[in-house]
Amino acid sequence: MALSGANNDRGELRIHENLDELRTDLADYIAELSEAAVKERGVFAIALSGGSLIGLMGKLCEAPYNRTVDWAKWYIFWADERVVAKNHSDSNYKLAKDGLLSKVPIVPSHVHSINDSVSAEEAADEYMFVIRQLVKIRMVSVSDISDCPKFDLILLGMGPDGHIASLFPNHSALNETEEWVTFITDSPKPPPERITFTLPVINSASNVAMVVTGSINM
């Protein structure tokens, strides 16, 4: 079980013996980054993914984090999302709402989910527009070396095939370098229609953490 964090300056690998250690370390890691971002910019812009990640963030709903984290300064985004209704069991939004967002005092207007009533292509375009507007007012920072948004933290899991966000091995979406958000309609893993941050956006974040569980052969 590992938490691997990286920013523009360094990379770090943390290996834990059990899930409880991983959950505690992940909560500490997120809380520290949140505090630093709020002190520096007044906000904390975090992008979530799906899978088991939300469950592993569960410690944040408990003491002391539920009282010490400045939840009112959090702005929530999704690094990828399935284009399904928000109450659908496959929705990353529903997963995050049920497992985290409904249990802490996050401002509802600070939660930026996709428009689930349009096509995947339209949803990606609209989501990118929303992010662009927030970059303009610096609610989300901008990269020093590109025009990409610079999220304070992007949290990612990893699928059995090695995919992160909804960027699957050998898929054409991996080659997208112009757009911040792209879409796919042929996901190897159902549901088929998804939106996802592109690699330039993921690589531009101040911090990226991949949270992976399972056995490690060394």
Residue 31: C-alpha distances to residues 10, 26, 128 (Å): 19, 8, 27
> Where residue 12 falls among pLDDT bands split at 50, 70, 90?
confident
Q: What's the pLDDT score for residue 155?
A: 97
Average pLDDT over residues 37-54: 96
pLDDT band for position 10 (cuts 50, 70, 90): low
Q: Is the pLDDT of residue 1 over 50?
A: no
> 111 by DSSP, 3-state: which?
strand
pLDDT at 4 over 60: no
Average pLDDT of the segment spanning 41-49: 98
Q: Which amino acid would we find at residue 46? A: I
Q: What percent of the chain has pLDDT over 90?
A: 85
CA neighbor of 56 nearest in space, from 31, 82, 24: 24
Comparing 10 with 173, the larger pLDDT belongs to: 173
The residues spanned by each domain of the chain are: 2-212
Higher pLDDT: 213 or 47? It is: 47
Q: Which tens digits make up the pLDDT trace of 184-194?
A: 999 999 999 99
pLDDT at residue 82 is higher than 50: yes
Higher pLDDT, 54 or 1: 54
Position 16 pLDDT exceeds 70: yes
Task: Look at residue 73 in the predicted model and tell me its pLDDT.
Answer: 98
Decide if pLDDT at 8 tops 80.
no
Q: Look up the pTM and report it.
A: 0.93
Q: What average pLDDT does this structure show over 57-72?
A: 97
Q: Is the peptide bond before 191 cis (omega within 30 degrees of 0)?
A: yes
Q: Which amino acid is at 194?
A: R
Average pLDDT for residues 185-205, to the nearest whole number? 96
pLDDT of 7: 57
| DSSP letters spanning 29-57 | HHHHHHHHHHHHHS-EEEEE--TTHHHHT
- Our CA angle for 16, 22, 23, nearest 5°, is 165
Average pLDDT score over residue span 195-208: 97
Supply the pLDDT for residue 35: 98
- pLDDT category, 146, cuts 50, 70, 90? confident
What integer is the mean pLDDT of 142-151? 92
Per CATH, the number for 2-212 is 3.40.50.1360
| 3-class DSSP assignment, residue 65 | helix
